[in-house]
Amino acid sequence: MASSLLCHHRYFNPITLTPLTNTNKLRHSSSSSSESSRRTSLRINRRSFSISATMASSTTKKVLIPVAHGTEPFEAVVMIDVLRRGGADVTVASVENQVGVDACHGIKMVADTLLSEITDSVFDLIMLPGGLPGGETLKNCKPLENMVKKQDTDGRLNAAICCAPALAFGTWGLLEGKKATCYPVFMEKLATCATAVESRVEIDGKIVTSRGPGTTMEFSVTLVDQILGKEKAVEVSGPLVMRPNPGDEYTITELNQVNWSFDGTPQILIPIANGSEEMEAVAIIDVLRRAKANVVVAALGSSLEVVASRKVKLVADVLLDEAEKNSYDLIVLPGGLGGAEAFASSEKLVSMLKKQAESNKPYGAICASPALVFEPHGLLKGKKATAFPAMCSKLSDQSHIEHRVLVDGNLITSRGPGTSLEFALAIVEKFYGREKGLQLAKATLV
């Protein structure tokens, strides 16, 4: 008998990032303290800062995102992706002595340039990702410190997430007299240099701070609002399929429940290609490696480096030709139009997927890939699935498309960037159990 854990949906305001109910609306920090504290984890605070319609202009906004060895890759990639979706000119700069950085969880990225080459450039926004030891490296980077301080003196926006508000902004003296938030374990340190609050995103003057991986999308859309205006933020947030209830316990829908088995450690293959959706790919890799699964990232084609859908450069572990030699407990595809089309045209990958399905072994996909890869190759026959909303018309069975994460036996599918962390946590749950999934959800602030 099918078992179900149903998703609950509410109408959603993509700018305030809160469900539109009478009891949970965006509040300014001048609200009553008791009500403010009760709602603090589900809202974005604004203090002494007007909506940036007055800031938005016809000129392209320039954004700097510095990265280092040990940067939290999901935070960095979401920031890059979302701001580029908004039309910002985003420069990813390595503070190391090479453009390639080894981010957390074994994820390799390639920056656009070295920070040392652009220290005289002017940006409308500087955004710092978190992660350790990356956050410490950013804090100790004197050229970056000078750029951020000048940014503040000149009245331009600075933003930081996770450990970076406490480690970098706090150490540099930017938070004196301001409200700020950060990753929970750094709140005590933050309290020594700012008024520490538990908002998912906090705006105070020209400083914007946030908490961790699970708040990064809200953080990034908020910054689109600040530099490009509310209309652009609404435009960007819609296709992200963001959570209607950020901070609430994640849920999945499961039909035809079966156990996903493995020997020792789950062996998981994640193919990537030029045009793959970087937020989705990195979310899956990041969360599954946090769970201690053995994740193999395999590039289609002849190069380990791929250029993802928003021009983020990711480096795979192996080529698919090499990965094909092994068997896997799960093969899971990120989305992205170009990437999904590449997957669908790869005879090697399609053959691997068909063998996986025929062997009753788990396989999954998110965003465009269920519709563009699984559907045309018969991998959804007799199965319920979901996909990116604009792609769902390509599914022959659309009866369950509204679910954010859908498991049907050995198949798992999901909708888009904003569901990718839930999707990854559902995979963790299927292999390791609900408790492990909830532990990682708490750690990543999903």
Mean pLDDT calculated for residue range 208-237: 98
Instruction: Specify the higher pLDDT residue, 43 or 172.
Output: 172
Per-residue pLDDT, 29: 35
Predicted confidence band at 25 (pLDDT cuts at 50, 70, 90)?
A: very low
Mean pLDDT calculated for residue range 11-29: 32
For the stretch 276-315, pLDDT in tens is 999 999 999 999 999 999 999 999 999 999 999 999 999 9
Per-residue pLDDT, 426: 98
Catalytic residue check, 163: no
Per-residue pLDDT, 59: 86
Predicted confidence band at 140 (pLDDT cuts at 50, 70, 90)?
A: very high
Which of the following is catalytic: 104, 193, 367, 392? 367
Lowest mean pLDDT across 10-24, 76-90, 94-108, 168-182? 10-24
Q: Mean pLDDT of all residues in the chain?
A: 89
pLDDT at 224 over 80: yes
Predicted confidence band at 24 (pLDDT cuts at 50, 70, 90)?
A: very low
Predicted confidence band at 36 (pLDDT cuts at 50, 70, 90)?
A: very low
For the stretch 334-385, pLDDT in tens is 999 999 999 999 999 999 999 999 999 999 999 999 999 999 999 999 999 9
Cα 79 to chain centroid, rounded? 8
pLDDT at 3 over 80: no
For the stretch 156-197, pLDDT in tens is 999 999 999 999 999 999 999 999 999 999 999 999 999 999
- Using CA atoms, how far apart are residues 219 and 200, in angstroms rounded to an integer? 8
- Using CA atoms, how far apart are residues 193 and 387, in angstroms rounded to an integer? 45
Mean pLDDT calculated for residue range 9-25: 31
For the stretch 319-329, pLDDT in tens is 999 999 999 99
